[in-house]
């Protein structure tokens, strides 16, 4: 048996038109979007299929839109191929999709929670106060030293350990800009300010975590039927009682993505399937271990290739 892990993307993978073609061709996809519309009380599906992009980019819309699309694709994959994973993982927001896939969170509850999560994150830090930047081609300890030097009483820390040579930093905008200047002074040329309005996965998100904790306490959480590898620990877990704490910690802790992927490979995973729009995570896996096959689909032609070559 081929040991497979399903990976669920986070913010940055969204685009207007996602899911539209598959929804038109498969009832299971269409019905999933209808379920999402009913759960949220507005036409999320129309935003996914048509945009406008400005609405889709609002964090409180982006998060449920990506979750709905990922679960629609998951249900299509399961109904048409019967493929079942040994492990699940999601990048940041994608961890909620993984928990729905594991049977821990109800789909409707998860949609409403991530919509609130997006709003909490946006309201935690006034627009323009925070920033994020990608530092490329540099070791983690060098990035940590740059952040320490740049902080000067403010917050700037490594936020996403995505793959070898790709680390994202997050914090106060002034501190992030100081880190960029210090990196360039050290001869590091690939440092890119990211077009985001929220400095995710740093201590500035603690107020959002406090509000998220209250929201999570109000929804039921079940035992995980499939292990999820958490962003915070890069280790698999199945205990229902750990879900809320890990999700609250995740919002202000770094995403240990490279370690998570290596953990799954060390546990015997020999194939990764990205379930959701785009192929960001497939690209990261290839940079972590180019010998491991990765698959993704987000349109009809792509799904037919996936079906033919993986089943």
CATH code: domain of residue 150: 3.30.70.250
289 three-class SS: coil
d(CA 99, CA 223): 10
d(CA 109, CA 258): 29
Decide if 267 contacts 236 (C-beta within 8 A). Answer: yes
**Domain termination site, one of 150, 176, 196:** 196
Closest alpha carbon to 91 in 57, 126, 67, 68: 67
Residues 99, 28 within the same domain = yes
β-strands 166-172, 156-163: how paired? antiparallel
Decide if 241 contacts 218 (C-beta within 8 A). Answer: no
And the tokens for 187? Answer: 């001869």
Q: What is the pLDDT of residue 65?
A: 98
Residue whose token pair is 């249900």: 75
Question: How many CA within 13 A on the CB side of residue 136?
Answer: 9
Q: What is the pLDDT of residue 196?
A: 84
Residues 221, 272 within the same domain = yes
Dihedral (Cα; 157, 65, 262, 240), 10-degree rounding: 90
Closest alpha carbon to 110 in 100, 95, 120: 100
Could you tell me which residues come within 8 angstroms of residue 29 by beta carbon, excluding any fewer than 6 positions away?
19, 22, 23, 72, 73, 75, 76
Decide if 101 contacts 226 (C-beta within 8 A). Answer: yes
Task: Show pLDDT as tens, one digit a residue, over the chain (311 residues).
Answer: 789 999 999 998 999 999 999 999 999 999 999 999 999 999 999 999 999 999 998 889 999 999 999 999 999 999 999 999 999 999 999 999 999 999 999 999 999 999 999 999 999 998 889 999 999 999 999 999 999 999 999 999 999 999 999 999 999 999 999 999 999 999 998 999 998 889 999 999 999 999 999 999 999 999 999 999 999 999 999 999 999 999 999 999 999 999 999 999 999 999 999 999 999 999 999 999 999 999 999 999 999 999 998 87
Decide if 224 contacts 103 (C-beta within 8 A). Answer: yes
Residues 211, 64 within the same domain = yes
**Domain termination site, one of 196, 224, 246:** 196
What residues are annotated to the active site?
92, 201
Could you tell me which residues come within 8 angstroms of residue 199 by beta carbon, excluding any fewer than 6 positions away?
125, 129, 130, 131, 132, 159, 170, 171, 172, 173, 176, 205
Q: What is the pLDDT of residue 185?
A: 96
Strand partners, 166: 136, 163
Range of the domain at 167: 132-196
d(CA 107, CA 33): 11
Strand partners, 263: none
Task: Work out how many domains the chain is built from and give that number.
Answer: 2
Residues 217, 270 within the same domain = yes
Could you tell me which residues come within 8 angstroms of residue 218 by beta carbon, excluding any fewer than 6 positions away?
none
Residues 47, 106 within the same domain = yes
Residues 210, 296 within the same domain = yes
Residues 167, 241 within the same domain = no
């Amino acid at each position: 048996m081929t040991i497979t892990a399903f990976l669920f993307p986070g913010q940055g993978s969204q685009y207007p038109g996602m899911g539209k073609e598959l929804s038109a061709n498969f009832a299971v996809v269409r019905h999933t979007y209808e379920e999402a519309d009913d759960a949220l009380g507005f036409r999320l599906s129309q935003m996914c299929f048509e945009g406008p992009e400005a609405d889709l980019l609002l964090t409180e819309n982006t998060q449920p839109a990506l979750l709905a699309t990922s679960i629609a694709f998951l249900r299509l994959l399961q109904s048409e191929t019967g493929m079942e994973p040994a492990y699940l993982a999601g990048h940041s927001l994608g961890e909620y999709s993984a928990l729905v896939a594991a049977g821990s969170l109800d789909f409707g509850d998860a949609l409403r929670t991530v919509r609130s999560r997006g709003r909490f994150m946006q309201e935690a830090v006034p627009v323009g106060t925070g920033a994020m930047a990608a530092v490329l081609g540099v070791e983690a300890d060098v990035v940590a030293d740059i952040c320490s030097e740049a902080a000067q009483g403010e917050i700037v820390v490594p936020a996403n350990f995505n793959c070898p040579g790709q680390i994202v930093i997050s914090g106060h905008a002034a501190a992030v800009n100081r880190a960029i200047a210090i990196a360039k002074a050290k001869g590091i040329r690939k440092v890119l300010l990211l077009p985001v309005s929220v400095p995710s996965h740093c201590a500035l998100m603690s107020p959002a975590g406090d509000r998220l904790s209250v929201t999570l306490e109000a929804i039921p959480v079940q035992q995980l039927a499939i292990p999820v590898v958490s962003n915070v620990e890069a280790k698999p877990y199945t205990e229902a009682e750990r879900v809320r704490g890990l999700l609250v910690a995740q919002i202000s802790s770094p995403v240990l993505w490279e370690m998570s992927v290596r953990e799954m490979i060390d546990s015997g995973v020999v194939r990764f399937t990205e379930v959701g729009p785009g192929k960001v995570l497939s690209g990261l896996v290839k940079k972590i271990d180019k010998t491991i096959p990765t698959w993704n689909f987000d349109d009809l032609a792509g799904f037919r290739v996936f079906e033919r070559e993986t089943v």
